[in-house]
Chains A and B, each alone.
Chain A
């Protein structure tokens, strides 16, 4: 992670509620975090926990109930001037989960990749546009001759790369990657991940990476936020979170990672979490920084326990070093 911590995107106490008639569903509760320039920030959690909802709120497909989203010091949620809106659209792009449904089946790859260019007229001449499209195609490892083809002629991995080319051609600064590899075959996941990493190094991109596969998250991210039922329960740097998970839900997620060794896997103890560990009836929980850079959702009593754990570990580490 870069040393200069310039905040690119910041979510402040956002709540997202889906309404249908009188029915309401509170999808995201009071969620806040900052994303720094050039980092990969991951959001992990089980299905239906609200990860995608947050991602879509950032590209402004979902409306906020309350709170605000700030991009480079400017509010981008709610009603904003049209000119600013277009700026934000250019700079924040999204990569979708399902390559089978996120491409327009009735358009050529040429149109799909240039759609953003057409919308913002980001080209000087027809030649220039073709040139940009060709470059984008090459940068994701596809061939220039593919631009006359239709999406159904491609494999899943190729289609996902078309989706990446479509967002990369806009030259964005921030990309919301919504489970970009979960719909892909295991054999081509690494290819797409490496591509994303490569773009980050080359163009200084910032990613919000949404996933439920922890092994992938560990490989790609700098910081990780764990979300459970619409609430962020823990946020820490990647290695810190993997080595010393504090929140019981994070614990249970870690214990669910399969170990590629049958003997170890058999001995592994699964840890289930259902929320009954907490007693929030009197002592209300809050979002606290328990250690520099390590945030957790806990009440006073739990805070003490977590602090004790951190202390113990410190002593343990010191003893280990002495030996």
Chain B
């Protein structure tokens, strides 16, 4: 009897409030805050982002200060030609040295990088916006799908490089000609990719639910479909921007890219290729910078894409 009494003392009837069971104690979730937190939880991202910011600042600020032109003003000043990196001449410090025309390699590289970056940003901005919009409707409407799939089959069977090369031969070399060459058919691959993603999520149940609530198609696209594609779009961007830089370098290298009056990484590499044996630094420094630009863009883009996928936001 005493034992039982003891038990009664030990146990107290718990107070059961059902509203307590519904409470969520985790802190409030915010998408973009989580993206930032997830991105900076990786140490390598600090490095990649740092490199990218330095590259961007140098290539947009340095050309304004250095006054680099492709006219080769020092071509007759033989003393200035092909100075090794780190030389001081006439009170001016040449960190990367000078080239065979007596131009500062440092100034030439950032002027070239600026052109290449602007080209890549313009081309990918055009291709991405056209591609995403067309892709969204392509995936959403079955009638559009029929026509667009045929168009895609025809265009995608022409090799991109071949098309761009032929186009550049016809249109002539130049910055805007190159932008046109890259964007006339470049968007269709992106649109096709987005179309596939839209088809995957188009018939999910939450979209049916929205239809039952009378949601209009533009609202469906902006609220139900595009938010799901954020990380896909960022992934695409991180692939597209570096690839346009590579295309520019490649096309200028084979001589069909940007004209001689505009500085660009590709044209520079082509021009310096002849010095590869005698003065390797003249060739390899621009190549290394081109690689740094594309790699840092790619790493930052890829990791940003990972971070923008909510699956990585779970603690």
Interface of A toward B, CB cutoff 8 Å: 56, 59, 61, 86, 89-90, 93-94, 96-98, 101-107, 111, 115-116, 118-120, 141-143, 146, 148-150, 152-154, 158, 163, 166-167, 170
Contact = CB atoms under 8 A, between A and B. Distances in A.
Contacts of B29: 149-150, 153
Contact of A143 (B22, B206, B213, B224): B22
Contacts of B23: 143
Interface of B: 18-19, 22-24, 26, 28-29, 31, 204-206, 208-216, 219, 223-224, 227-228, 310
A107 B31 CA distance: 10
Nearest to B211: A61
Contacts of A106: 31, 223-224, 227-228, 310
Contacts, number: 80
A116 B31 CA distance: 23
Contact of B205 (A98, A107, A116, A153): A98
A280 B18 CA distance: 56
B205 A96 contact: yes
A27 B24 CA distance: 43
B139 to A, nearest CB: 17
25 contacts: A61-B208, A61-B212, A89-B212, A96-B208, A97-B205, A98-B205, A101-B206, A102-B206, A102-B208, A102-B209, A103-B206, A104-B223, A105-B228, A106-B223, A106-B224, A107-B223, A111-B223, A115-B213, A116-B214, A143-B19, A149-B24, A150-B29, A152-B310, A163-B209, A170-B213
Given A103-B209, A118-B219, 15 more contacts: A59-B212, A90-B214, A93-B213, A101-B205, A102-B209, A103-B206, A104-B223, A106-B227, A106-B310, A115-B210, A119-B215, A119-B219, A141-B18, A146-B24, A170-B213
Nearest to B24: A153
A50 B205 CA distance: 17
Nearest to A56: B208
A76 to B, nearest CB: 13
A162 to B, nearest CB: 11
Nearest to B213: A116
